[in-house]
Amino acid sequence: MVTAPDNDNNLEGPMVFIIIGKAYESKDMQGIDLHIMLQAPDDDSAVREALNALSEEGFVEADLDQIGVLQEVPLEEPHASAYQGALEGEVAIIRFAP
């Protein structure tokens, strides 16, 4: 589990990233909008772990548009549960219906 960032971020809690993008189950299908939440020591590791998780879920391609570190605990679902999963070491993938 990640306990301290390996950059200049000085967050009081764990560093939970949120990545916003679109993933494709096949090259000819329409993409699925998604948010990915996970803990990682830096953004490069977060992207790598997110892509690995998407691959494990059967996605063949992904366009990751934005990445950031959550500054507050989300209170609304499905992000609150995904955040809790990220704290427990999971890579939480939130899919949005087209």
Q: Is residue 39 part of a domain?
A: yes
More confident residue, 38 or 1: 38
Q: Is residue 23 part of a domain?
A: yes
> What is the model's pLDDT at position 11?
56
- Assign 3-class secondary structure to 19-65: EEEEEECCCCCCCEEEEEEEECCCHHHHHHHHHHHHHHCCCCEEEEE
Quick one: average pLDDT of 7-20? Answer: 77
Q: How many CA atoms lie within 13 Å of 57's alpha carbon, on the beta-carbon side?
A: 20
Q: Is residue 5 part of a domain?
A: no
> What is the model's pLDDT at position 41?
95
Q: Is residue 8 part of a domain?
A: no
Q: Is residue 73 part of a domain?
A: yes
> What is the model's pLDDT at position 3?
47
> What is the model's pLDDT at position 46?
98
Q: Is residue 42 part of a domain?
A: yes
Domain range for 20 is: 16-95
Q: Is residue 10 part of a domain?
A: no
Q: What is the pLDDT of residues 30-45, one digit of tens each?
A: 999 999 999 999 999 9
Whether residue 24 contacts residue 60, with contact meaning beta carbons closer than 8 Å, is answered with: yes
> What is the model's pLDDT at position 98?
72
Whether residue 94 contacts residue 82, with contact meaning beta carbons closer than 8 Å, is answered with: yes
Q: Is residue 9 part of a domain?
A: no
- How many domains, the chain? 1
> What is the model's pLDDT at position 32?
96
